Amino acid sequence: MDARSIIAKLRRREVPDSGELAWFAQGLADGSVSDAQAGAFAMAVCMGGLGPEGRAALTLAMRDSGEVLTWDLDGPVIDKHSTGGVGDCVSLVLAPALAECGAYVPMISGRGLGHTGGTLDKLEAIPGVSTQISQDRLAQILAETGAAIVGATAQIAPADKRLYAIRDVTATVESLDLITASILSKKLAASPDALVLDVKVGSGAFMKTLDEARKLAQALTETANTAGCRTSALITDMNQPLAPALGNALEIAEVMKVLTDGQPSPLAEISAELGGVLLSDAGMVGDARAGRDMIAEVIRDGRAAERFGRMMAAVGGPLGLVDDWARYLPEASVILEVTAQDEGYVTAMDGEALGLAVVALGGGRQVESDAIDPAVGLSGLVRLGDKVSAGTPLAVVHAAREDAAQRAAQAVRAAMTLGPAPVPVPELVQERILA
């Protein structure tokens, strides 16, 4: 086998067999496939596609290019993945709730790039927390606390890391086959018994239309189920931030409010919906509704909060986090209230623009090497359907400098659309694709 013959096959609109794809993935991992060959492969897949069987074969080949984790635990191992949005801190609520229900959750997460925030960056806004740990330590934490949210080691799906960097500079990021293989190769390397996918749709998501989101959700669920992992997907609304805050420490604050005050919120609702499907697919409850109620209860009564505190302490966080979380989170030096200039109803939000405003404040990355200021961002965001008058707060900017705060305020106003009458607010869960 050689890279040229595999690329030539793709050029002829033929799908390489599983052995050829496994060879190519291993070549990506060990460097025997060159950058030029990797780029040609990505473009050929982007232009011609692989079909369902080829997509599944590539996913498994990329998973098997590195270590595949195994567990010796007394309960099901389950996981969740989001395709990314703004104000999306579901993992931080859901993982401890699932663990409190008796599951084990080894959640391998990523960092923010572009307009969406990264789970690891959010966690590291908590003083002392380190998300880069060894696999031995991951297994120990999982046995002790039931859940861990950590970064991937270099041994997890190395073919994906190499191919992702190539895709980023060859305009092949949008390939449905490559997106699916990238997401699932890392998730399946953690060997979950069940997986739920939160596929976001709307102005703050990568998938802007329901049709795009549905195609991705179907590709992901079909591929994961073919690979032997029971997988369902929910298509959920991202036409406005899920939490009323964007930015790392500010989103941790929203997570702590949900975990400690027990009040209903979109963040708590989505966590319960996703968790209910997972508990059902893992055979821990009779159906998704029973699972949803179980997740909602452990969030409401504070048990998930205590579990989250144990998870954070295990990775270096403060022991008193749950009891006095506000004292530990960094605060920005400039706080600016952004007010409406006209009267009306909030009829639309440009979620991507809001996310990019946080990036411009220093709260996200434009390239992987960018440093992050965990304190900056937006809080107190209005919701779709809210009625505002001139002078009503739309959001609060948290910035390091006054000039940056003023620019962010302009961006927030530009991202909000006001109308004379309210418009229907999209349902949080728009579609379900169940295993």
Please pick, among 55, 63, 64, 80, the residue that the annotation labels catalytic: 80
Please pick, among 55, 81, 214, 310, the residue that the annotation labels catalytic: 81
Q: Residue 287 burial (CB < 10 Å; 0-12/13-18/19+)?
A: exposed
Specify whether 79 is catalytic.
Answer: yes
Specify whether 9 is catalytic.
Answer: no
Specify whether 119 is catalytic.
Answer: yes
Please pick, among 167, 200, 257, 310, the residue that the annotation labels catalytic: 167
Please pick, among 63, 115, 186, 310, the residue that the annotation labels catalytic: 186
Please pick, among 182, 185, 232, 265, the residue that the annotation labels catalytic: 182
* Rounded Cα distance, 401 and 120, in Å: 25
Please pick, among 64, 79, 160, 350, the residue that the annotation labels catalytic: 79
Specify whether 80 is catalytic.
Answer: yes
Residue type, 74: D
Closest Cα partner for 346 from 397, 413, 416, 410? 416
Specify whether 215 is catalytic.
Answer: no
Specify whether 187 is catalytic.
Answer: yes
Task: Give the pair of three-digit tokens for residue 326.
Answer: 């506000």
Please pick, among 187, 230, 292, 310, the residue that the annotation labels catalytic: 187
Specify whether 170 is catalytic.
Answer: no
Please pick, among 59, 65, 82, 203, the residue that the annotation labels catalytic: 82
Active site residues: 79-82, 119, 167, 182, 186-187
